[in-house]
Amino acid sequence: MNDVSADIPCRLQINGKTYAADLPPSVTLLDLLRERLDLTGTKKGCDRGQCGACTVLVAGKRVKSCLVLAVSIPDAEVTTIEGLSPNGQLHPMQQAFIEADAFQCGYCTPGQIMSAVALLAEGHTHSREEIREFMSGNLCRCGAYNGIVDAIEQVVAQQNRNHTGEAA
């Protein structure tokens, strides 16, 4: 009989660095980040895919890391909040969150920011309603929702300006 709990090799690219270790198959990507790699910027709010606090990017797409077993995505490229501003220079979304007061306690914030960054790439930012719809997987109990939408719109507007600027 196979031992179902025997460690399995895990290899990931996390924020540009290679991580390789043998892991029990039950370790989620979220727990790997928080408990084994000390990347505690990614938060746990429910551990079952219902709150979005654990949102990270896997191959550029937003993913709830509590629902992913670390060994199940070999060689995947993972970006966490710590990887968003690698040299201390804030990502425009992080800057916009500060300016728009898009958080209070800050606990949902890394997940909101990662989700918002992916949302920009997805292009679902045509109206406040659309932003709300596509951000609804990220709960905020402090109720910073208005500020989050403001922050996202601010970054969209900046990007549009930059694009028009480039075209001209």
Sequence-distant (≥ 6) Cβ neighbours of residue 60 within 8 angstroms: 77, 79, 118, 121
Alpha helices in 87-144 (DSSP H): 92-99, 109-122, 128-134
Q: What does the per-residue mask of binding to other proteins show for 81-120, with x meaning CB under 8 A?
A: xx-xx----x---xx-xxx-x-xxxxxxxx--x-------
DSSP state letter for 24: -
Closest distance of CB 91 from ligand FES, Å:
18
The interface region with ligand FES, picked from 5-13, 18-26, 101-109, 125-133 by CB under 6 A, is 101-109
Distance CA 136, CA 10 (A): 31
Question: Residue numbers of the site for other proteins (CB under 8 A)?
Answer: 24, 26-27, 31, 34-35, 38-48, 50-51, 53, 80-82, 84-85, 90, 94-95, 97-99, 101, 103-110, 113, 128, 131-133, 135-149
